[in-house]
Amino acid sequence: MAFVILDGFAFRNVQTDHWFYDSDSSIQQVTPFFPWSNAVQGIVFWDFGAPEEFEDVCVGLRWQNALNGQSPITLKNNLSGFTCFIGCDGMGRFNFNATLNGSPNYTDTSTLWVAANEINYLELSVQTSKVHIPYDPGPPEVPEAYKMLVEYELRVNDEVFLEGGIETPQRVLFGSGLDTNPWISHLNIGAVEINALGEAAMSDFYINTPGTFKGDSSIRTLYPAADVGTDFTPSVGTVHYALVNDHPDNTTTNNSATATGQIDEYSFDTLPSWAGGTQTINGIAGIWHLGTSDPNTGGVFGFYNSPSHFTPNFYPLSDGSFTYFFDGREYVYGSTSVKWTEGAINTITLGLKRFL
């Protein structure tokens, strides 16, 4: 199980900071739902980026509805045309929609509903499977086609509002085989879009796969608070962490690795206590904002606590722009079952090593 993404919308300047979500995103910050987080309005669209496609995901989102017929959570794959989403009607009821081609099929609306402007925690679990309709010469002739079976469950504040299965309309196969019909291999989930338009707002966003409900969750953002390793060259002064803990981010203050093998490592703010005593920590996400001024060279990887706990390799864009890189961890490094503790988070360090 892995987090694909976690975002509390707190660390970026969403209006000016171009972020690691794809284009078509347009959001602005609004009054936060909680003192420690930010809330945003607008559209966030994020393509996972092939080959990152999934058949089993769960999306969590704190969402303030504006009761104007919005679709807070959409899962899609633009390469195949698959789209599924939950809709919220003018009386605060939800339904689930799915399409592969043309108008979506949709479920009946939920009996349970949410009130106007209420802030609720939505979680949508979706599992997809593709269904092949073979060619039949007939009569009547049946063309070869595919449709998708989508199993869904929507929870609001941990309560099940909708669940079941629905089939998409068919998409007819034209041509002869996978090479000429690449969409067949993309009958799954390749992107997510979350919406909070008009007076709506959203925060505390997660996606994991295989999809597991994490419940009403809050995301706390911790920033570098002290230097541990300082091989990099600071853009100004001698204190490294202070150049990478500004929020919203300021890319004019940074630390540079001028040679392979160099490491920068930082410890972090203390995790604030929260009401309700000890709660479950569902996971962490390390985030690095990286750019390279050396075209076509420069590869780095992040790490936790020591250089042996690696993230995947990151390759910053060579055009000089900065990009966010992300690594989500539900369990402590190396474990598939041991959850993070407050103590472990309060002693964590994150770093970066240049290897290329």
> C-beta of 158: minimal distance to other proteins in Å?
5
Residue environment code for 102-124, b if the CB has 16+ CB neighbours within 10 A, otherwise e: eebbbbebbeebbeeeebbbbbb
Q: Which of 24, 28, 91, 319 binds other proteins (CB under 8 A)?
A: 91
**136 part of the interface to other proteins, by CB under 8 A:** no
Sign of dihedral through CA atoms 234, 235, 238, 244?
negative
Greatest Cα pair distance in the chain: 80
213 binds other proteins (CB under 8 A): no
Give the Cα separation of 117 and 196 in Å (integer). Answer: 11
Helix, strand, coil shares, percent, the chain, to 5: 5, 45, 50
The one-character DSSP state at 264 is E
Near other proteins by CB under 8 A: residue from 16, 23, 51, 111: 111
Q: What is the spatial distance between Cα 289 and Cα 249, in angstroms, rounded to a whole number?
A: 9
Contact status: 319 vs other proteins (CB under 8 A): no
- Give the burial class of 224: count Cβ atoms within 10 A of its Cβ; 0-12 exposed, 13-18 middle, 19 or more buried: buried
By CB under 8 A, residue 336 contacts other proteins: no
The least distance separating other proteins from the CB of residue 325, rounded to whole angstroms, comes to 26
Q: What is the dihedral of CA 334, 337, 338, 339, to 10 degrees?
A: 110
Q: How far is the CB of 129 from other proteins (least distance, A)?
A: 19
- 67 belongs to the binding site for other proteins (CB under 8 A): yes
- Identify the residue among 31, 252, 296, 337 touching other proteins (CB under 8 A): 31
Cα–Cα distances (Å) from 313 to 12, 292, 299, in that order, read 22, 14, 7
Exactly one of 121, 241, 266, 303 binds other proteins (CB under 8 A); which one? 121
What are the residues whose beta carbons fall under 8 Å from the beta carbon of 129, sequence distance 6 or more?
A: 55, 148, 149
Stretch that binds other proteins, among 16-24, 40-48, 111-119, 312-320 (CB under 8 A): 111-119
Kindly tell me which residue out of 17, 22, 55, 106 binds other proteins, with binding defined by CB under 8 A: 106
One of 159, 176, 177, 334 touching other proteins (CB under 8 A): 159
Whether the Cβ atoms of residue 220 and residue 272 lie closer than 8 Å to each other: yes
In terms of CB distance, is 113 or 310 closer to other proteins?
113
Tally of CA atoms within 13 A in the half-sphere of 348 that contains its CB: 25
| Closer residue to other proteins, CB minimum distance, 120 or 254 | 120
Q: Looking at beta carbons only, is 35 or 237 nearer to other proteins?
A: 35
**Scanning residues 268 to 307, which ones bind other proteins (CB under 8 A)?**
274-277, 279-280
Q: CB under 8 A: which stretch of 9-17, 150-158, 222-230, 327-335 binds other proteins? A: 150-158
Instruction: Tell the residue number behind the tokens 């799915």, with chain if given.
Output: 98
* Helix/strand/coil for 319: coil
Q: Which of residues 245-274 bind other proteins (CB under 8 A)?
A: 274
**Is 116 near other proteins (CB under 8 A)?**
yes
Q: Pull the structure tokens for residue 300.
A: 């780095």
Judged by CB under 8 A, the number of residues near other proteins is: 46
Q: Which lies closer to other proteins via its Cβ, residue 118 or residue 269?
A: 118
Single out the segment in contact with other proteins by CB under 8 A; choices: 110-118, 183-191, 253-261, 330-338: 110-118
Of these, 13, 113, 226, 248, which contacts other proteins (CB under 8 A)?
113
The letter for the amino acid at 345 is I
Single-letter amino acid, residue 18: H
Query: Position of tokens 């079952």?
Result: 337
Q: How far is the CB of 204 from other proteins (least distance, A)?
A: 7
Using CB under 8 A, list all residues that contact other proteins.
Answer: 31, 33-34, 39, 62, 64, 67, 89-93, 95, 103, 105-109, 111-121, 156-159, 169, 204, 215-218, 274-277, 279-280
